Amino acid sequence: MEKLDLNKPVEIAKDIFWVGFDDPNAGFRCNPYVLNDGEETVFFDPGSVPHFPIVLGKVMRATQLERIKHVIVTHQDPDLCSAIPRFEELVEGVGGGFDICTHTRASVLIAHYGTRSPFYRVDANDWKLTLKSGRSLRFIFAPFLHFPGAFMTYDEKSKVLFSGDIFGGLSFDWNLYANEYYAEAMKAFHENYMPSRKILKHTMDKLDALDIEMIAPQHGSIIRKRDVRAYIDILRNLECGEDIFE
């Protein structure tokens, strides 16, 4: 298998780049992604303030700042979106601007980071975003996983599912792509952060109808097509959250 250079943006699908970094001391890694569509860039879960300098460097290698038109934020946790105000300053500094795509419930909290950009509320926009080219990003509501307004994003062109916290993992032994042990890392994360098997199943059932080429989570490792259905089934049946009281 080709050796990946994780010091650069990694193209995980055509024009879609992982722009995170491998911190060997962290058990809780974060994965921001950039999707380029012509002159328009979509930035997924841009990351935290401590990660900002490294992520910024990779974003600038994957696109031009003024092309960033949409920042998709699956929920309001600081690890995935506290750097937004810093990106706003830079993008506005080069004459650009973006909207923050998120659920209404998250938007009222994200504003507390001091963001200035307008919100594109996915729940008020028919759960989709159409790019200038006509490319469609579909938002899949994943209530209470783990935030009440959590959602995933399905790119209909590449068939990549940007899953936010869902399918994430706790891993010191991190690999960009899931290895044979990743299921245990994923279970560890979900047992600790997700509310119940019933709620997980509700969202996993929605994925059955999708043709998914790849799952790109915000924590942990990327899941390739050959493993997608197995990982969905693991989460569909995982006891977590309130199940531990039974």
- Asked if 78 is part of the footprint of other proteins (rule: CB under 8 A), the reply reads no
- Name the DSSP class of 219: B
Site for other proteins in 28-47 (CB under 8 A): 28
- Asked if 6 is part of the footprint of other proteins (rule: CB under 8 A), the reply reads no
Shortest distance (Å) from residue 28 CB to other proteins: 6
Task: Find all residues with CB under 8 Å of 75, minimum gap 6, and list them.
Answer: 102, 103, 106, 146, 147, 149, 150, 164, 165
- Asked if 239 is part of the footprint of other proteins (rule: CB under 8 A), the reply reads yes
Shortest distance (Å) from residue 23 CB to other proteins: 13
Distance CA 223, CA 161 (A): 10
Q: How many residues bind other proteins (CB under 8 A)?
A: 21
- Asked if 130 is part of the footprint of other proteins (rule: CB under 8 A), the reply reads no
How many CB atoms lie under 10 A from the CB of residue 38? 11
Shortest distance (Å) from residue 201 CB to other proteins: 18
- Asked if 114 is part of the footprint of other proteins (rule: CB under 8 A), the reply reads no
How many CB atoms lie under 10 A from the CB of residue 174? 23
Cβ atoms of 82 and 113 within 8 Å: the answer is yes
- Asked if 60 is part of the footprint of other proteins (rule: CB under 8 A), the reply reads no
Site for other proteins in 191-230 (CB under 8 A): 191-192
- Asked if 92 is part of the footprint of other proteins (rule: CB under 8 A), the reply reads no
Shortest distance (Å) from residue 42 CB to other proteins: 30
* CA nearest to 166, candidates 213, 201, 211: 201
Provide the mask over 155-194, with x wherever binding to other proteins is found by CB under 8 A and - wherever it is not: --------------xxxxx-------xxxxxxxxx-xx--
Binding site residues, other proteins, CB under 8 A: 27-28, 169-173, 181-189, 191-192, 239-240, 244
